[in-house]
A and B are shown apart, each in its own frame.
Chain A
Amino acid sequence: MTKMDNATHFSVSRRSLLKAGGALVVSIGTPVTLDTALAVGEAFAQGAKPPLMPDQLASFIAVNADGTVSAFFGKMDMGQGLFVAIGQMVAEELDVPFKAVKVIMGDTATSVNQGGASASTGIQLGGKQMRMAAAEARRVLVDMAAAQLGLAADALTVSDGVVHAKADPSKRASYAELIGGRYFNVQLDWNKEWGNTLYAPGKAKPKDAKDHKIVGQPIAREDIAPKVYAQEDFCTDVRRPGMVHGRMIRPAVAGSVPVKVDESSIRDIPGARVVWDNGFLGVVADKEWDAVRAADKLKVEWSDVKPPFPNQSALYDHIRNAPVRKREIGGKEVGNVDEAFKTAARVIEAEYEWPFQSHACMGPACAVVEIKDGNVTCWTGSQKPHFVRDGIALTLGVPAETVRSIWVVGPGSYGRSDADDAAMDAAVLAKAVGKPVRVQYTREQATGWDPKGPASIHRARAAVDAAGNVIAYEFTSKGFSRIDVNTNGGAPKDTLAGHFRGAELKSADGFGVPAESYEFANKRLAWETVPPLLARASPLRSAHLRDPVGPQVHFASESFIDEVAAALALDPIEFRLRHVKDPRDVAVIKAAAEKAAWQARPSPRKDQTGAKVSGRGIAYSQRNGTRCAVIAEVDIDRASGQIWARKLTVAHDCGQIINPVGIRHTVEGNIVQGVSRTLWEEVKFDAKNVTSIDWMSYPILDITGTPEAIEVVLINHPELPPTGAGEPSIRPVAAAIANAIFDATGVRIRRVPFSPDRVKQALS
């Protein structure tokens, strides 16, 4: 059965686990103990378990005694059904039934660091590696069978995990007979990289796509029923013997630190204790409700600091005027943009603004850390548990080999959420109190203190000649870095615990440029970053939020392309097709137009009167090889300013499709989250702190505002490698809606979110 392993069901000793050190040839969750499994492994010809390193086939694939296959995956599924797709790729290459493969993911004791959930590379890079490993495993098994049967390898084939002679199926050896319960002792050609770029192929070539039988099938997820029947435990549900409950206390004014903590103020709460280290302040208690009460009751005096933030209404001016910390041209400048603008008959210019946005995960982060016999175990919902292991090791000053980090499904994280911070806080508390600690953040901390998607401004201009041709295009983003703190909690400088405890800081620079294939004779795409508003422990520190800077960059760039089309009185699709050069880009634009029955005409439409108007808009973009076009059909109530993104038509090309149903659900989620971020989401703050601290002050799309329909056209390219689907379709949503609003009203809204007040004001 292909099913996510739930690591909370592990009931093995730490010692035996370290002894095993990695991939285990047992079905995890069965009553077989690890020591038994290890003994079995040692008893057989393949010898001892090879070290858990990327150059070992055993680190990725194992055939169990019963012939089932364990696939050890160093990324994880954040709810998009990735483990099904990985199971399909492994089963395909191994020629075993899909249900014979179990994907085990996100545990540093059983998988190597393939980067965790990151950049929609689960299939693109993680799956690529698993595919190569499975193909190599099949090759080795066929060779073993050839030796056993006395036949040439090319005289053999594999059906359902049984190697047999092509000419005589009675000459056979099953995978279970060949290696079941033992380890592969096969070296892979590892590129010596860790994380997303880790790649370690063997000698085997994967199958040709025309031979695929399992890849491409719409296989359903098996983790749905356990969720629906309340049988699946989340990271919030991990309980350890002797565990106490922790709550963190954050300053009311960002940047201030506790100067006096009155522990006697919680003396009457059973077991309540304070853990205070510089700016780090938490409480623990035996009972969770007592920890809640202690956090509420603890008397703390805070340092007096100057409120660190500008007035929110001055945010975009702050960015405009802030010194540029780093400027980068994306790709290469084409032609000579500055010279071309000097010759322009007409210049079209616009500027766009995007606010800070929060991950606002459905559940505030939770983590459990246990320190026992010199070893540390962390149960975390972080999408990057291998980096959490490294972060805990550095935070506690212990060797990484003594830390095990286990991903247990948590609330969807959509990037560098608060999960990594909670893991570090739990580690610090557990070390301080000498007991296993479960840290549960509050809603206020989840929305108010998570790393934020960066706020930015985007300037675009186009030079048009006398004949109405675009001769030059320049696009520049300026904003807070998307890696003010890193994409994972792998170092104290990137976590709140590190910041509060005085770690040396380093805010890195990263942004991005539009990903498209518009060809203009002169073209320059650039980005610029500005320093953070508060260097240390800022509730506005910025980091990766689903499709990092993609929605903001393409809101601006694809709105602007539409503005140019409108200025030239051209249909928005016709204008795009004149300049888009990549054939697959053209294909998604045409596919969306066809599905949505797009009527060619320039925007805005001029045939509507009255309070209720509607319009349509398109936007398209690429993302790491994937292409996506979105057409939004939008209804607008001019009186209330209410926007309803009524219908969205999506054309999506991510190369080879591994599982179409998985992509459809993933695209739907992207679109709904994209509509939410476009219409509703903006982190509010005042001079002292973030004031978006719950679902009232950080509203997201309500079910009453859900689109009537999301049509998804999937373009399959089995001949191409698969690329990502986890983020590309969120990217064009905001611009498609903005362009539809313009089509309906003739008014261009250049600041997100399009909340009713803002729309009403713009239309008045």
Chain B
Amino acid sequence: MARMTLDVNGKVETIDADPNMPLLYALRNELALNNPHFGCGLAQCGACTVHVDGQPVRSCVTPVSAVGNSKIVTLAGLGTPEKPHPIQKAYVEEQVPQCGYCINGWIMTAAAFLHQTKKPTEAQIKEALSGLKCRCGTHMGILRAVKRAAAMMG
């Protein structure tokens, strides 16, 4: 066990945990942040994705001790109904999710991608999101939403 601090959604929190414990468990259990989700524990699906210093990271395989002072942002910290991130706004407008369990992977990955790549092509969008899983098959809606958000972000 070790005492560590985590900077999550702009708030610094202190936890006592096994340094090898994945960040996901710290977020969900120590900090009671119900998103992100456990999907595989193998970095294969994306359901646990958070931003660490603006980059999408699979929190299910990231040891909590590896995060250091980096700034963690979860889906809850990405935007709010009052002040949404464009991809969140687009997701609502396009009515994308079915069950919604996979949502962290797509939204957090797309958000980081759209900040780096303005006016992306469809091929670039697909490449950026490759590997993420959605079992309900909302892929068409996801692509519509990412394109809509890209248009909003100019």
Contacts and interface: CB of A to CB of B under 8 A. Distances in A.
Interface residues of A, number: 56
A236 B101 CA distance: 10
Contacts of A234: 34, 37, 101
Given A362-B134, A700-B133, A225 B92 contact: yes
A230 B74 contact: yes
Interface in A647-682: 661, 665, 668-673, 676
Given A230-B75, A288-B25, A78 B99 contact: yes
Contacts of B131: 702
Chain A contact residues: helix, strand, loop or mixed = loop
Contacts of B141: 665, 668
B133 to A, nearest CB: 6
Contact of A412 (B17, B127, B135): B135
B151 to A, nearest CB: 18
Contacts of A230: 33-35, 74-76
Interface in A513-529: none
Contacts of A361: 101, 135
Given A234-B101, A411-B135, A412-B136, A694 B44 contact: yes
A236 B38 contact: yes
B99 A411 contact: yes
A543 B42 CA distance: 27
Interface string B23-37: 001001100111101
B102 interface: yes
B21 interface: yes
A703 B25 contact: no
Contacts of A110: none
A695 B71 CA distance: 29
Interface in B68-105: 74-76, 79-81, 84, 88, 91-92, 95-103
B40 A229 contact: no
A46 interface: no
A707 interface: yes
Contact of A704 (B38, B42, B127): B127
Interface in B10-66: 17-18, 21-22, 25, 28-29, 32-35, 37-42, 44-45, 47
Contacts of A280: none
B29 A288 contact: yes
Contact of A701 (B88, B99, B103, B139): B139
Contact of A229 (B44, B79, B133): B79
B154 interface: no
Given A229-B84, A237-B34, A412 B40 contact: no
Contacts of B139: 672, 701, 703, 706
A703 B136 contact: no
A695 B40 CA distance: 8
B18 A669 contact: no
A364 B140 contact: no
Q: Which of B75, B99, B141 has the most CB of A within 10 A?
A: B99
B17 to A, nearest CB: 7
Q: Which of A79, A361, A440 has the most CB of B within 10 A?
A: A79
B126 interface: yes
A442 interface: yes
B67 interface: no
B42 A694 contact: yes
Nearest to A696: B44
B114 interface: no
A325 interface: no
B98 A665 contact: yes
B135 A362 contact: yes
Given A229-B88, A702-B130, A412 B99 contact: yes
A224 interface: yes
A672 B140 contact: yes
Q: Which of B29, B32, B42, B98 has the most CB of A within 10 A?
A: B98
Q: Which of B76, B88, B138, B139 has the most CB of A within 10 A?
A: B139
A541 B38 CA distance: 25
Contacts of A673: 135-137
A704 B130 contact: yes
Given A232-B100, A412-B135, A224 B140 contact: no
B132 interface: yes
Contacts of A288: 25, 28-29
Contacts of B103: 227-228
B129 interface: yes
Contacts of B150: none
Q: Which of B32, B126, B134 has the most CB of A within 10 A?
A: B134
Given A228-B92, A289-B18, A360-B135, A668 B81 contact: no
B135 A700 contact: yes
A362 B102 contact: yes
A669 B133 contact: no
A562 B131 CA distance: 35
Given A224-B96, A700-B135, A363 B25 contact: no
Interface string B112-146: 00000000000000110111111111111111000
Nearest to B18: A289
Contacts of B6: none
Contacts of A661: 95
B107 interface: yes
Given A287-B29, A289-B18, A695-B45, A224 B136 contact: no
A710 interface: yes
A668 B45 CA distance: 21
B140 A706 contact: yes
A703 B101 contact: no
Interface in A164-219: none
B64 to A, nearest CB: 9
Contacts of B81: 225, 229
Contact of A363 (B97, B101, B138, B142): B101
A79 B101 CA distance: 10
A710 B99 CA distance: 20
Contact of B107 (A223, A228, A363, A414): A228
Contacts of A220: 95
Contacts of B34: 230, 233-234, 236-237
A710 B44 contact: no
B75 to A, nearest CB: 4
Given A411-B99, A442-B41, A676 B133 contact: no
Contacts of A363: 37-39, 47, 101
Contacts of A670: 137
B80 A362 contact: no
B138 A669 contact: yes
A318 interface: no
A410 interface: yes
A362 B41 contact: no
B138 A703 contact: no
Contacts of A443: 39-42, 44
Given A289-B17, A668-B138, A673-B137, A224 B91 contact: yes
A292 B29 CA distance: 13
Contacts of A706: 126, 139-140, 143
Nearest to A409: B99
A228 B88 contact: yes
27 contacts: A79-B97, A79-B98, A220-B95, A221-B95, A224-B95, A228-B91, A228-B100, A229-B75, A229-B76, A229-B84, A229-B88, A230-B33, A230-B76, A233-B34, A236-B38, A237-B28, A287-B29, A362-B39, A362-B101, A364-B40, A410-B101, A671-B137, A672-B140, A696-B44, A703-B139, A703-B143, A706-B143
Interface of A: 78-80, 220-221, 223-225, 227-234, 236-237, 239, 287-289, 292, 360-364, 409-412, 414, 440, 442-443, 661, 665, 668-673, 676, 694-696, 700-704, 706-707, 710
Given A288-B29, A409-B100, 9 more contacts: A78-B98, A79-B97, A228-B88, A229-B75, A230-B33, A360-B135, A443-B44, A701-B139, A704-B127
Across the A-B interface, the 10 shortest Cβ-Cβ residue pairs: A672-B137, A79-B98, A227-B100, A412-B99, A230-B76, A79-B99, A237-B34, A230-B35, A443-B40, A411-B101
